[in-house]
Amino acid sequence: MSRLLRAGTALLLCVGLLLPLSGCGALELYQRLLIHGIGVDRAGDDLVLTVRSSAGEGREEAFSCRGATVADALVQLTRSTGRRPFLAHNYLVVLGRACAEHGLTPDLDFFIRRSGTRPAVELYLARDTAGAVLCAQKDGAFLKMSQLQELSSAAQEIGLGEAVDLLGFENALLTPGRDPVLPVAAVQEGEVVLDGMGFFRGDVLAGFLPAEALRGLLAAQNRLSGGEAVVPGAAGGSATLALTRCMSRLDPDPADPLRFDLRVELLADVAAYPTGERALDEAAYAFLEQGLSAELEGQIRSILRAAGEAGCDVLGLGSTVYRRAPQAWRDLEDRWPQLLPQCAVSVTVSVEVRRIRQEVRYSAR
């Protein structure tokens, strides 16, 4: 092959490959609806979608559309806006309470199968409707979707909530002996706030966990990584403890698969003390430790009671048996939701407040 012919062929092939791979001939940006957030509500047999998208120059816009399925509603959206939805940068999906009470599988299936969506999209459960959450305005401006996406992540960092994405929700649904949870978003005075967690039996909403109990949920699942806890001080008032490390372990009883031992160990620092003392005595430290451990134990027991009565295994007791004693799990699997209220969980929370002992007393002048 002559050199000229080789060069010409190579150039032709390069240009040929560049054209389709760069998307030439694809839609222009103005022909696309860049979706950042989707809300799904149920209205009878139909679904109502609330879509938040970027309108350019930092502005956001919201649309509403209706259809028999999520895909059908998005088609209606194209008919009304003239733009094709682009889902690759969708940050989050908010699911309305009615959808959760009906069962989430039909509504989430679109996000699992559809190309262009991704498993890392954040999920929220609306206390009322997803439309209200996505269309909440303060001072005439929509809440940015990136901010809403960060709400649950930030809450998890401070130990007051749990971030759940589509991957995590589906895995909790599909893993034997586990039931999923979702952070609850509510609108209060024009602002979107996190208001506890919803727990599910399968894909159907079964109840709510209050925000006050969520630190216990995270601690039991070995996901508590930080935050501040307010506990009574030994001499009255309230002290603040900064949580620095948490390790928990859930062990089934080898002799009885319905008995479990949950041990939580926490390390904390004194962040604020009501009397302003720097050098605390041993009794004060012990009082703080006992206060926090009692609080967390109470939270964990309330979660076990509330979820267990609904047959929901939010702490993954069943999945622990599934992984540690698979033979025993084979006998229990089909009856697990009925056996769950009978499970006995021994909860032990031990808190260590770090004693630095570097405080120096200055004598008064």
Residues in touch with another protein (CB under 8 A): 1, 6, 9-10, 13, 16-17, 19-21, 23-27, 88-89, 112-113, 115-116, 118-120, 167, 170-171, 174-175, 316, 319, 322-323, 326
Letter for the amino acid at 121?
V
The nearer residue to another protein, 89 or 301, going by C-beta atoms, is 89
The nearer residue to another protein, 172 or 270, going by C-beta atoms, is 172
**Secondary structure class of 34 (helix, strand, coil):** strand
> Would you state the torsion angle of the CA atoms of residues 333, 337, 343, 349, taken in this order, to the nearest 10 degrees?
100
Distance of closest approach, residue 167 Cβ to another protein, in angstroms = 5
Distance of closest approach, residue 221 Cβ to another protein, in angstroms = 9
Closest C-alpha among 88, 218, 99, 97 to residue 152: 218
Asked if 117 and 109 count as a contact pair (C-beta separation under 8 A), the reply is: no
Distance of closest approach, residue 149 Cβ to another protein, in angstroms = 12
The residue ranges of DSSP E strands in 83-221, in sequence order, are 84-86, 92-95, 122-126, 137-138, 141-142, 181-188, 191-201, 204-209
105-113 and 70-81 helices cross at what angle (nearest 10)?
70
Distance of closest approach, residue 322 Cβ to another protein, in angstroms = 7
C-alpha 233/C-alpha 271 separation (Å) is 12
Distance of closest approach, residue 63 Cβ to another protein, in angstroms = 22
HSE of 206, CA atoms in CB hemisphere, 13 A: 19
The nearer residue to another protein, 190 or 326, going by C-beta atoms, is 326
The nearer residue to another protein, 115 or 363, going by C-beta atoms, is 115
The nearer residue to another protein, 229 or 315, going by C-beta atoms, is 315
Asked if 60 and 52 count as a contact pair (C-beta separation under 8 A), the reply is: yes
